[in-house]
Amino acid sequence: MNMYQQLVIQNDKITQSFLDGQILDSGSRYLGGIIDNKTGIPSPSHTGTARVIGTWVSSFVNKDSTYYHTSELKRRIRLALDYMLDQQHEDGTISPGWTNYHSPPDTGFIITGFAQIYNLFVHDSGRESDPLAGKVLMFLERAVPAMLTGGCHTPNHRWVLTSALSHMYQIFGDQAMANRAEEWLNEGIDMTEDGEWTERSNGIYNAVSNISLYHTAQLLHKPKLLDYVRKNLNMMLYFIHPNGEVVTDYSGRQDYGYSYDLSPYHLIYRLMAVEDSNQLYGAMSDLAAESLYDMGPVNNHVLLGYLSFPWIKEKNFDKMELPKSYEIMLNEKYPMEENLKKMDRMGHHSNIEHTSIHKAFGSRIVRFREQEQSVTIMSNHTSFFSLRNGEAKIRGIQMYSSFSPGIIEFDTIHRMSGGYRLEKRMEKGYKGPIPQAHSTNDLETSPWSLLPHQKRAKTHNQTFEMKADIIRFDHGWNIHIHSDKRQDVFTQIVFILDSGAILSGPGIDQIEDTTSFWKQAELNISTGEDMITMDSGKHEHWKPSIGDSIINDTGVQKVKVNVLSPIDHTFRIRLC
């Protein structure tokens, strides 16, 4: 049984499971919508009812499906499409319900999937699909004004919109749609030479940008855009943990700190494997397929993709070993410091509404893998080191300092003999009085918020430098934390571990349900048959925390080491 046949069987099972979730109460304002398991309320989004429509249509139009042209599924699709039309606003947009109201990009996600659905309906044999095709076409027609005028929030939204516009151009032939897509493309593609997208979101938004740019390239006949897709697919070869999860240890989006598999990449790896006759992409596509438990959102729906691009159905690739032993530095040549200086001259002062400026874009990342050992070393992130040894994990290591109260994000990573050095130079001073020439001259009342603080002269400026040298040895790593000679800076090093990990050692002192001090000696971290052993802890001050925690606390426990500057301390991590 080939991949396509497996997907048809799986999609049929999912089709059946969704039937029970559809609201059939004619008195409900959600009639036809499919209940979201997380909220209990239907949503017209690409991950909500639109996703279900993608699954149902992939069964309905497919002669290989047990649901091919069945009257009951046709009725359910009609109800779901009526729900989508009812949820569509007068301006042509939809609102997912949890955010982004009257959202052009969220509508764009749906259009990419609905355009494929419309084409499948049009080419479906007989007249079973005609009334359904009319409803999809109505949704697309209503969305035209929003696509021609609508904007975005985040970097990936631009390519979602170009994909939507490209599909609508293919269906309606209106040059204005191609021109609007060109406006977005003229901004340039937000990717480093090593293949990293702005949002550094290996779990979610890489796949969104990749499939969107693929559609844009094909429909607007811009094959050079596929080079960017290739770069990210090449990068992802080295961002896979031994268990098949993708590396999310430094993400700039909501996948940070959570587990994600490779399944959203299956379709794009498959398409590009056929496009390039690339065996390695074929192997990554197969690995991604091992994690498929549903078909994905409507814009990146796996079986919808197989039916829309039928030439990928029968293509087989020889088995090929994926990289399991490597050490690479990402973005080593990216001019990050130069670009940060340019950013300061742009005038937006990092104040962009409803999105992040993503200043960490282009930061250096080190990836190391040796079979079951997987390590990530990170700059410009709240965690600077993570390690997996089979099932045993150090999810991250964070540092907090009282110099500039809060977390330390190392500015950069440099190679050194046997490993890498991370560095951070902190600066903090005081401000003098506002010069008379810029005074408000209102001595009676002078709100602090209305004073021209930028005119104050800096006084008594102080600096504090921290370094972390990370050196590999056989079966382990040394992490040497050292500072300059400034005294009495309270510092806390926090090890983020899985909640299920078993901790043992004479120096562990539990202070909360999921938080402990590691005061001395050796610490063992065990999960299943795998273990990480570390030495040694310290407890040079009593502060329980320095600054607010910046991590998803669900499902983790924290081990804290308290040190006082000047710091010169080494953690020795051994893998068992």
CATH assignment of the domain containing 59: 1.50.10.20
- Residue 313: predicted pLDDT: 92
pLDDT in tens, 432-460: 998 988 776 666 667 888 888 889 999 99
**Tokens 């002192």 identify what position?**
509
- Residue 442: predicted pLDDT: 63
- The answer to whether residue 363 is domain-embedded is no
- Residue 346: predicted pLDDT: 63
pLDDT in tens, 160-197: 999 999 999 999 999 999 999 999 999 999 999 999 99
Residue 425 has pLDDT above 80, yes or no: yes
- The answer to whether residue 312 is domain-embedded is no
- The answer to whether residue 228 is domain-embedded is no
Domain boundary among 113, 128, 150: 150
Q: Using N-to-C axis directions, what is the helix angle for 226-236 and 266-276, rounded to 10°?
A: 120
Model pTM?
Answer: 0.92
CB-CB contact of 76 with 60 (8 Å): no
CB-CB contact of 271 with 301 (8 Å): no
DSSP symbol at 290: T
Residue 278 has pLDDT above 80, yes or no: yes
Q: Quote the CA–CA distance of 573 and 576 in Å, as a whole number.
A: 10
- The answer to whether residue 548 is domain-embedded is yes
CB-CB contact of 11 with 263 (8 Å): no
Q: Quote the CA–CA distance of 423 and 411 in Å, as a whole number.
A: 6
Cα Rg of the chain (Å, integer): 27
- The answer to whether residue 175 is domain-embedded is no
- Residue 549: predicted pLDDT: 62
Q: Quote the CA–CA distance of 247 and 329 in Å, as a whole number.
A: 14
Domain boundary among 117, 150, 183: 150
Q: CA torsion, points 175, 176, 181, 185, in degrees to nearest 10?
A: 90
pLDDT in tens, 16-41: 999 999 999 999 999 999 999 889 99
| Burial class of residue 85 in the structure, from the number of CB atoms within 10 Å of its CB (0-12 exposed, 13-18 middle, 19+ buried) | middle
- Residue 441: predicted pLDDT: 62
Mean pLDDT computed over every residue of the chain? 92
pLDDT in tens, 496-550: 999 999 999 999 999 988 999 999 999 999 999 999 999 999 999 999 999 766 5
- The answer to whether residue 316 is domain-embedded is no
Q: Which two tokens stand for residue 275?
A: 């496009």
Residue 420 has pLDDT above 60, yes or no: yes
Range of the domain at 382: 372-431+454-575
369 or 352: which leads in pLDDT: 369
Domain boundary among 150, 168, 194: 150
Share of the chain above pLDDT 90, in %: 80
CB-CB contact of 456 with 432 (8 Å): yes
- The answer to whether residue 53 is domain-embedded is yes
- The answer to whether residue 77 is domain-embedded is yes
Number of domains the chain is built from? 2
Q: Quote the CA–CA distance of 338 and 434 in Å, as a whole number.
A: 32
